[in-house]
Structure 1
Amino acid sequence: MRALARKGKSAAVRLYRGYNRRKARNAPPPSTRRIRILLLHAHGMGGTIRTVFNLAGYLAEEHDVEIVSILKEAEEPFFPIDPRVRFRFLDDRLRPSRNPLRLLLSKRPSRLIPKEESAYHRFNLWTDLRLARYIRSLDTGVLMGTRPGLNLAMAQLAQPGVITIGQEHVALRTQPEPVQKLIKWRYRRLDALVTLTRADLNDYRETLPKKPRKLTRIPNAVPPMTGDPSKLDAKVAVAVGRMTRIKGFHRLITAWETVAAAHPDWTLRIFGAGPQEDNLRTQIAEAGLQDKVELPGPTTDVGAELEKASLYVMSSRHEGFPMTVLEAMAKGLAIVSFNSPHGPKEMIKNEVDGLLIKPRTNANLAAGIIRVIEDEQLRRDLGTRALETAATYSVEEVGRKWDALLAELLARRDGSYVPRTAQPPAEPAAQAPVQPAAPEPPAQAVAEPPVRLAVVPVVPEVTP
């Protein structure tokens, strides 16, 4: 039976390869005019959504951009979005359906998304069907994924004429081992893989046995925010994020017990919502911090809340590239952050534009906060340098990197790409003429042909 199953699978693979080869022969020319970005829940709240909206708005200046959301669970987007960017939803969960196929498949778990993926519970067989149909409906243009499950599906299903770009917002080392194995196997099919940090870029370079055609790092850009930089005179510290264990807000509240004892006139505000919210409220009450720690809920105007603070605290166990740190820098706040190995460590220069604290050490976190509170000159120096750092992450600066990537990927597809080569050595300075030796026959110049990369058809793997 096993031998028969293997033969059947091999036959299916050969059929799929043949189908993709025919599609490749009949595909329209490669193009970057139309860009489609896959998101789990475009109307939700989170750093990935905010950064994707920011990128989509920039790209809409020169491209036809559509955000394709797997789910629709809210009528309106939580974050503002450029009106030129369109939305498409594959599974509208706000309206009940009488479609018997949808009702049946929605009750069954996903087979397309690996079960170890953190958002696996949000997918089902119906979303599998809708996502697979959508990906296979594209024959040209650019398709971007924004999380491992979507990148893996895109790498497996996209037609050869589509330029595929995987974005990774979470560090490779934090992914479950089964997801990492699939990444090693499938990501080689992507045209490009974009990481947010150099550390993650190096991890992919070392880990992937066969790499995508382009492996690069492009950080997030500072999104537009209302108001002005903070005056740093408010006795308020701020933290922002989804209330999950990974954000470490329970550690921050524990640290604030020490801060409140030393400086009872200071207030901590944690903006966000999530499954840990009730636990955090209980922790605040049990510690007697009801008047010292506030949980105002999520905010659509992060800039206004940061402007009313003097200090930003990052207590996450690990981060990819935390947008909230970048936003706080753009408001000139002093930053105190756990020294996560990827995002904060690359974004913050310790003692220059922020303070980096040994991870998961509540006492050290409290000491860092108290130091910034008590040393006003340090607080203002950190804030000034933070403004300078944030300027290097402007939308224009980061956008140019995306423009260059899209131009390179198109050139690789249409055969006009010429890789960078070392610059020729400078010609020596003119010297006095000397008697030449016997002339040698001139070397034959050989023109280097442009590099042409064959389009590799997308096929399902034979082994997992």
Structure 2
Amino acid sequence: MVRLYRGYNRRKARNAPPPSTDRIRILLLHANGMGGTIRTVFNLAGYLAEQHDVEIVSILKETEEPFFPIDPRVRFRFLDDRLKPSPDPLRAMLSKFPSKLIPPEETAYHRFTLWTDYKLARFIRSLDTGVLMATRPGLNLAMTQLAQPGVITIGQEHVALRTQAEPMQKLIKWRYRRMDALVTLTKADLRDYRNTLPKKPKKLARIPNAVPPMTGEVSKLDAKVVVAVGRMTRLKGFHRLITAWETVAAAHPDWKLRIFGAGPQEENLAAQIVEAGLEGKVELPGPTSDVGAELEKASIFVLSSRHEGFPMTILEAMAKGLAIVSFNSPHGPKEMITDEVDGLLVKPRTNANLASSIIRVIEDEQLRRSLAAAALETARTYDVDAIGQKWDDLLAELLARRNGTYVRPPRPAPEPADEPSAPAEVP
């Protein structure tokens, strides 16, 4: 079967149209959901739509409209519309069985079925040219198995390699070499892939996310409000933040914490607030599609996750001129924040240290304004045009590699060693 499949691919490659970057397809799990990956993909798709035909291909459709705004030039396709019942008996039957295409260790494995396998495989095999980009490990692995040779394939990683389960890492080591490019968000993750993959894709690159456009103005830093944003899961550590806020509220009862988001931990967090006697001091307003407006009304942003890939919420808070307090997560926050310059990195990562860092920024207005001003400067280096140019360069390089016109840039010449100084004359 493997020989037949490879032979079929070779025949398709001989008859395939020339490689092209005119059409770009981006695979997402659920485009109408909410989350950092979705927001950043929308941001990238809007930029690429200026020069390319861009389509976001969502595996699932579980809500009617996108949660985040999207450039009208970007088109959508949904492979499994779960809002509309279908009389198709094949769909009804296959939807009852778990996926065989997506590894069970994929964190979203429970969202996939044999029906999504069928729809995803049909879509990927329908492409014979253009660019196909996947945005999570399970989709990256499926793309490496199914994409035809004429398609330029790009895998995006939004989570760190070290956080993947061991079976996933084994599959990644074996299959990722088939991609044209693998793009990570952080230098640390890029280094991990370089050191881990025995055979590598044609291109390994690090391209961070860009700051998305937001409404409103820069924060005036006069509101006694601390804000946190994210999906309410254990990974985000909001339970630790609420515990830390007990200490903050005792020292500064006039300050308020707002945690925006929704998710499986929402009820537990609400109960924790009541149990700690923090009603009125900690608020859970729910999700917001206008992050900029809410950040503008705050003075401090807190990230309480112990592990993060490249948290967009930090970039958004920086672009709004907030003072940042974050756990010293080894990948994203550690690379994005310069400690004591444009934010505070909390280490060791304990609830008590998180509370003391927040209190420090509350009590030291000069520090708060200094961190916020430096954060604004940092955010400018993640401007959408600057990051977008990196994607333009990557696409141009991958196309040149396919066309046989790629010329490897010369390595920079080593700097000449300093000449030894002449010995002093002895009188």
Common topology (TM > 0.5): yes
2: CA distance between counterparts of 1:283 and 1:88? 40
Aligned counterpart in structure 2 of residue 149 of structure 1, from 138, 148, 151: 138
In structure 1, give the amino acid aligned to 2:105: E
* 8 Å contact kept, 1:54–1:221: yes
- What residue number does 1:69 align with? 58
**Which residue of 2 is the match for residue 458 of structure 1?**
none
Measure the CA separation in 2 of the matches of 1:216 and 1:422: 17
Secondary structure at 2:285 match in 1: coil
Aligned-pair identity in percent equals 83
How far apart, CA to CA, are the structure 2 residues paired with 1:238 and 1:389?
20
How much has 1:420 moved relative to structure 2? 1.1
Task: Give the equivalent residue in structure 2 for 1:238.
Answer: 227
Query: Which among 385, 391, 397 is matched to residue 396 of structure 1?
Result: 385
Q: CA deviation at 1:423?
A: 5.6
Work out whether 1:39 is the aligned partner of 2:28.
Answer: yes
Which residue does the alignment assign to 1:410? 399
1:223 is aligned to 212
Aligned to 1:136: 125
Aligned length: 415
Q: Is 1:273 paired with 2:253? A: no
5 Å-filtered alignment, 1:28-427, equals: 28-358=17-347, 360-422=349-411
**Which residue identity lines up with residue 279 of structure 1 in the other structure?**
N
CA RMSD of aligned residues (A): 1.0
Note if contact 1:251-1:360 (Cα within 8 Å) is conserved in structure 2: no
How far did 1:425 drift? Answer: 9.9
Give distance in 2, aligned partners of 1:391 and 1:321. Answer: 16
Aligned partner of 2:424 in structure 1 is: none
Distance (whole Å) between structure 1 residues aligned to residue 371 and residue 129 of structure 2: 47
Q: Which residue of 2 aligns with 1:439?
A: none
| Conservation of the 8 A alpha-carbon contact between 1:24 and 1:159 | yes
Match of 2:106, SS? Answer: coil
What are the ranges of 5 or more consecutive residues in structure 2 without an aligned counterpart? 416-427
Hey, what's the Cα distance between the residues in 1 that align with 2:210 and 2:30? 21
Tell me the distance in 2 between the aligned counterparts of 1:399 and 1:32.
15
Counterpart position of 1:457: none
Higher relative contact order (CA 8 A, sep 6+): 1
Pick closer, same or farther for the CA change 1:109–1:338 going to 2, 3 Å. same
Match of 1:125, as an amino acid?
A: L
Letter in 1 for 2:197: L
Contact 1:340 1:359 in 2 (8 A): no
Q: Say whether 1:13 aligns with 2:13.
A: no
Asked if 1 retains the 8 angstrom alpha-carbon contact of 2:328 and 2:349, the reply is no
Other structure's SS at 2:118 match: helix
| Structure 1 residue runs without a partner (length 5+) | 1-11, 427-464
Tell whether the 8 Å contact from 1:259 to 1:369 is kept in structure 2 after alignment: yes
The SS at the match of 1:351 is: coil
Q: Over alpha carbons, which structure has the higher Rg?
A: 1
Given the superposition, is the C-alpha separation of residues 289 and 155 from structure 1 closer, same or farther in structure 2, using an over 3 Å criterion? same
CA distance in 2 between counterparts of 1:281 and 1:214 reads 46
Calculate the TM-score normalised by the size of structure 1.
0.89
Deviation at 1:336, TM superposition (A): 0.3
Q: Do the aligned partners of 2:227 and 2:298 also contact (CA within 8 Å) in 1?
A: yes
Q: CA deviation at 1:422?
A: 3.2
One-letter amino acid of the counterpart of residue 239, structure 1: A
Q: TM-score, normalised by structure 2?
A: 0.96
Aligned-partner Cα distance in 1 for 2:97–2:414: 64
Counterpart contact for 1:266–1:292, Cα < 8 Å: yes
| 2:345 counterpart letter in structure 1 | L
Instruction: Find the residue that maps to 1:296 and give its secondary structure.
Output: strand
